[in-house]
Structure 1
């Protein structure tokens, strides 16, 4: 007889793999749109909206697949250990999106000044000083962020952190509930720890349902934060930001895999050396 838990985990993993493949395809589309000399701002806006719809669809699938087995999303077996160590309620912290904007802004500004110092070009200087171009109300680089944009981003950052803290407290409460009745009492009085009884199973099912609800709320906050960021940024800035986010997501997965591969090789090599030394 097939284990329903392993079946749903396979569905969840397939859903994740589809999402990662879609991320890679969208990344190519975003790159191509940014590489065009003459920017099509309408197309860039459409690509940004498509990226948001992609995440909304993915969040909907996660919600559907998490109703009875939400714990799989809190420590996914399809993730690397590095990724799981960085998880916040089944994903990344929404505030990290805003920190990415700050990082891109600083990096691009530094790059512009470096170009100016090397070339001593007045055009590079005007760019480095933040003269805007492209869409009305902003430029094509994250270093072109206007005072109004920075104010809105900072305001969004504060509200996002407050919302994160609220969800983090709910998550802590759910973790504390695992030491509550009836689970704690069942574990204490059982002479042998085996399959949970009906009362404990009901309590665990309720816990999974509560965690599923928390996951949905966290995904809503992630989507809301992304949507508001895209609204604040110009078309080029939004696509540049979304591209950077996808690159970071895919890179973390690959870096995690490489680190785990090196650990396995080091462990196998260490065992071999030990066996050889003991002979």
Structure 2
């Protein structure tokens, strides 16, 4: 899985570049060209996430146990994993937290009737759709969690004569791919219900959280190693 580790590190570097472009783009966009440029960057970032999950699906088919082990991740990152990756409902906690922080920071402007257009300015309709999507995502998470539990209950078969080994491993690959599909689909659906400016801000905050957890985790691993 060295090749996937290399891919992952390169992928993170590219994500960092995309986030910098999103962060430096005019927000809110005030011209048609600025709006189109921001839309293009949001789409490019989403395609980058899709590329990651495509590569991960291929890697899981080659060695699903190493995908669970995730040697490219820090100990902290692995401790936060749900079925070899981040939990999809984390997206909603992130949106609610960022929206609350921005709302409070703009409260004076909002009371004067000024619209900020950022994540602190979500409409009632957007909040309703986010809440509905969260409920749907929780249900799907639970279904996949139950599938993994059933797989683990039958894991003793792996110690048997090996006749069902290939099928059991294939089942685990499918579970990981279902979890990854839910992760990517959740981000896509959230981005679709946000404005272009809000989507850009959401992608920036999500990536910054990912980078922050990774940096802290790697630092902790290095300290323990020393």
Q: 1:128 to 1:247 in 2, by over 3 A?
A: farther
* Structure 1 segment 238-257 matched on structure 2, within 5 A: 238-257=199-218
Conservation of the 8 A alpha-carbon contact between 2:19 and 2:207: yes
Aligned position for 1:269: none
Asked if residue 160 in structure 1 is aligned to residue 137 in structure 2, the reply is yes
Q: Where does the alignment leave 5 or more consecutive residues of structure 2 unmatched?
A: none
Q: Where does the alignment leave 5 or more consecutive residues of structure 1 unmatched?
A: 1-8, 114-124, 133-138, 187-198, 266-279
Aligned residue pair count: 224
Which of 162, 177, 180 pairs up with 1:219? 180
Q: Residue deviations 1:25-48, cap 9 Å, x none?
A: 111111111468746222212211
In the alignment, the residues of structure 1 paired with residue 153 and residue 8 of structure 2 have an alpha-carbon distance, to the nearest angstrom, of: 29
CA RMSD of aligned residues (A): 1.9
In the alignment, the residues of structure 2 paired with residue 150 and residue 174 of structure 1 have an alpha-carbon distance, to the nearest angstrom, of: 36
* Structure 1 segment 187-226 matched on structure 2, within 5 A: 199-200=161-162, 202-226=163-187
Conservation of the 8 A alpha-carbon contact between 2:59 and 2:67: no
Bigger Rg over Cα = 1
Question: Post-superposition shift, 1:261?
Answer: 1.9
Conservation of the 8 A alpha-carbon contact between 1:130 and 1:144: no
Q: Residue deviations 1:93-151, cap 9 Å, x none?
A: 111111100010111122224xxxxxxxxxxx23357743xxxxxx5211110000000
TM-score by length of 2: 0.91
Question: Post-superposition shift, 1:154?
Answer: 0.4
In the alignment, the residues of structure 1 paired with residue 104 and residue 18 of structure 2 have an alpha-carbon distance, to the nearest angstrom, of: 28
TM-score by length of 1: 0.75
Matched position secondary structure for 2:207 = helix
In the alignment, the residues of structure 2 paired with residue 27 and residue 144 of structure 1 have an alpha-carbon distance, to the nearest angstrom, of: 21
Asked if residue 93 in structure 1 is aligned to residue 87 in structure 2, the reply is yes
Question: Post-superposition shift, 1:160?
Answer: 0.5
Which of 252, 258, 265 pairs up with 2:219? 258
Aligned position for 1:234: 195
* Structure 1 segment 68-147 matched on structure 2, within 5 A: 68-113=62-107, 125-127=108-110, 131-132=114-115, 139-147=116-124
Conservation of the 8 A alpha-carbon contact between 1:94 and 1:160: yes
